[in-house]
Amino acid sequence: MGVGVAACVIAKNEEKNLPRLLESIRGKFDQIVVVDTGSTDRTVEIARSYGCKVVKHRWQGFADARNRAISEVDAPVDWIWHFDADFELEEEEYRKALRAFKEIPPEVDSISIGVRNFDQFGRIKAISSHIFIHRNDPSIRWEGAVHESPTVKCTVGLPIFVNHYGYADLETLLKKGKRNLELLKQELERYKGKDPFEYSLKLFFLIQTYTLLAREEPAFRKEALKACREFFSISGNNLKDYGFFLVYTYNYYLFLLLQEELYREFEEVLNNFKELKVEHPDILLLEFSYWRQLGNRKEAQEAILKFALLADEVEKNPFAYPYTAVSESTLAFENMVIRGELGFEPDEEFIERVRKLWRKKKGKFLGLLLYLLTNDEKVLKKVALRYPSVTSLILTLKSKLGGLPNDNSNQKTTTKEVGHGTED
């Protein structure tokens, strides 16, 4: 590789996913270390068949397993790249990483990369990011029983992506959420009354988990809202210190308020968010849903246009704007386009404005918005050719087979379907 890089993987009963990962990284790293935390299937056998160094380790949390993997790297490498067993590395992303390793300044000790989270139909349902690459430095250790992170000093975010298939079904998500809930409650007790900042970060992950579990048991929404209010009682609107956690807690808070139809509080929270002067595609889509439900066509149109423009930029590079490295709303928008559910009759002036922007800027989401507004098959054809995807295929088949046409006058996507990895 020119620059020495080792791959570290933690796995348990991953015989289904591991071959895909190892096939994608074989021959690309100086060493591949697999830490197995108690598999009873063919995981160990598969790892050894790919020439990996396999270490068996008793499960004591994610951070502990990653630290064990680091300690087992004995190749003389400069960088360590961590993978989950359900990841995949495409050739083009690997080549981008090679170029980056050669140009990163010495003061940078870690790299945050993008994660494309796929649903069971092969569509990207969310973009997230995490520090998965760091220097081979003995001072760097991983911390946290849940949502672990390394103790690094200087991180740069780069548009390098891995594919993630582990959250493809709701059952798996709920199982992991239930597992994490008790661990998070334990960590909250650890920091309560001692470290307000760390306590609030654990609250964020608790909100995230409650929001997920509410998809099966709606009663969890009230617990999530309670945790949101507690988070902001600690953080205030302190973007400097809370950064991503503040922005994305706003996202969960607004999402939950829409579901509970707490519109007055929604508008108050949205106004507080706007004071930050931050734009995020997820929140723009929630704002669109809010204005649509109130029957405010003008504000709804502005929000959905801002969403499409920003979503196109974020898809190209999730680190192009502050705090956009995590986005979960694009699949909800694509589902809305597939079903033709704008929810109102758009202004002709607005349609022409979007058409002019599409001619000038292009972009998948702007093109999909124009198709949603016009039901123009020529627009769909151009989107499908420029941005081939499962969604464009579904729309093309729907059009060819004479599926239900767009009816923008009376259909609405419910708040349950807006963002947060919602299922079809």
pLDDT tens digits, one per residue of 326-384: 778 888 999 999 999 999 999 999 999 999 999 999 999 999 999 999 999 999 999 99
**Nearest to 28, CA basis, from 79, 67, 86:** 79
Q: Quick one: how many helices (H) and strands (E) in the chain?
A: 16, 10
User: Roughly what angle, to the nearest 10 degrees, separates helices 330-339 and 390-400?
Assistant: 0
| Percentage with pLDDT > 70 across the chain | 92
Quick one: pLDDT at residue 168? 54
Quick one: pLDDT at residue 417? 47
Quote the Cα angle for 133-134-135, to 5°. Answer: 140
**pLDDT single digits (tens) 207-222:** 999 999 999 999 999 9
Mean pLDDT of 127-132: 89
Which residues neighbour 318 within 8 Å (Cβ) at sequence distance 6 or greater?
114, 127, 129, 157, 159, 324, 325, 326, 327
Quick one: pLDDT at residue 418? 52
- Read off the pTM: 0.77
Quick one: pLDDT at residue 402? 61
Q: Tell me the domains of the chain and their CATH numbers.
A: 5-164 (3.90.550.10), 169-278 (1.25.40), 281-424 (no CATH)
The per-residue b/e assignment along 48-70, b for 16 or more CB within 10 angstroms, e otherwise, is eebebbbbebeeebbbbbbbbbb
| Of 68-82, 142-156, 396-410, the least confident | 396-410
Separation between Cα atoms, residue 142 and residue 140, nearest integer Å: 7
Query: pLDDT band for position 407 (50/70/90)?
Result: very low
Quick one: pLDDT at residue 69? 98
Quick one: pLDDT at residue 415? 46
Separation between Cα atoms, residue 160 and residue 102, nearest integer Å: 14
| Cα of 265 vs its chain's centroid, Å | 26
Question: Is 179 a residue whose pLDDT tops 90?
Answer: no
Residue 115 burial by Cβ neighbours in a 10 Å radius (0-12, 13-18, 19+): buried
**Nearest to 407, CA basis, from 337, 341, 338, 332:** 341
In the numeric block, the tokens 């081979």 are attached to 136
Which of 60-64, 142-146, 369-373 tops mean pLDDT? 369-373
Rounded alpha-carbon distances, angstroms, from residue 247 to 176, 233, 271, 360: 24, 15, 13, 31
Written as one letter, the residue type at 254 is L
**Nearest to 330, CA basis, from 163, 117, 19:** 117
